[in-house]
């Protein structure tokens, strides 16, 4: 079955609201596939491994926004700090401080999303709401000038049960609203709710997602 990356992209873009950003999840995909998506107008790409992100970034145009969407190890932040646009998976204060440190070295501000554990599966990473509040309430957090908390991210359980998935997405949206009103009410840049992937993004959008992470629906099934 032949498919076109450009056709797949356009189909998704035409089906989602204008205010929802599409991250093309290009992990494991060859450079030529990313180039096809780029030529079709896609500018936001998401990788889940630092090594792959480092290898691909110099081979593609400079106007691409690179998102790190996978579990991020503290000792690898330095490799992507010069160019990464958004780090989705921040789920510890230790990681937040390291991103700030490396951003400072590169004389830039790095945007991040706080990742919350919303799924029933224990394999998924993420903060609990009380842990996030502890971070945001701390004096130490207030000293971090080279990161910008731009919103929240979460992954729903990988289950057939639509109502469970919907409930998990609604949970993340309510966490976003609570943090927005308590900590970021005057911060316009705190606006991203990153949730929804190839299998469940229509539900995520219905529940308030502003950013979806889609791979296989654009590039085909992973090898």
Sorted by sequence, the CB contacts under 8 Å of residue 27 that are 6+ apart come out as 46, 47, 48, 49, 52, 70, 215, 222
Amino acid 92: pLDDT: 96
pLDDT value at 1 more than 90: no
Amino acid 41: pLDDT: 97
- From 60, 147, 171, 145, select the one nearest 95 (Cα to Cα): 147
Average pLDDT on 152-179 reads 95
Given CA atoms 217, 56, 117, 121 in this order, what sign does their dihedral have? Answer: positive
Tally of structural domains, the chain: 1
Average pLDDT on 116-129 reads 86
What interhelical angle do 162-183 and 129-137 show, nearest 10? 20
- What pLDDT band is residue 121 in, cutting at 50, 70 and 90? confident
Amino acid 190: pLDDT: 98
Three-state secondary-structure class, residue 147: strand
pLDDT value at 3 more than 80: no
Residue 171 belongs to domain spanning: 5-219
CATH at residue 189: 3.20.20.10
pLDDT in tens, 103-120: 999 999 999 999 999 998
CB-CB contact of 45 with 55 (8 Å): no
Average pLDDT on 153-175 reads 95
């Amino acid at each position: 079955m032949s498919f076109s990356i450009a056709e797949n992209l356009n189909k998704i873009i035409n089906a989602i609201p204008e205010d929802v950003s599409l991250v093309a999840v290009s992990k494991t995909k060859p450079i030529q596939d990313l180039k096809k998506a780029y030529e079709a107008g896609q500018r936001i790409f998401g990788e889940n491994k630092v090594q792959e992100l480092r290898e691909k970034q110099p081979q593609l145009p400079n106007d691409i926004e690179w998102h790190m969407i996978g579990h991020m190890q503290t000792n690898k932040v330095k490799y992507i700090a010069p160019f990464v646009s958004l780090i989705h998976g921040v789920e510890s204060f230790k990681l937040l401080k390291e991103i700030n440190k490396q951003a400072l070295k590169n004389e830039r501000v790095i945007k991040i999303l706080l990742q919350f554990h919303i799924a029933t599966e224990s394999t998924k990473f993420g903060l609990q709401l009380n842990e996030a509040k502890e971070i945001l309430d701390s004096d130490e957090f207030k000293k971090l000038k080279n990161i910008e908390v731009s919103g929240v991210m979460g992954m729903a359980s990988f289950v057939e049960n639509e109502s469970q998935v919907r409930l998990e997405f609604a949970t993340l949206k309510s966490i976003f609203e609570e943090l927005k009103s308590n900590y970021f009410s005057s911060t316009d840049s705190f606006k991203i709710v990153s949730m929804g992937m190839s299998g469940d993004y229509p539900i995520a959008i219905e529940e308030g997602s502003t950013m979806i992470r889609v791979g296989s629906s654009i590039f085909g099934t992973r090898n």
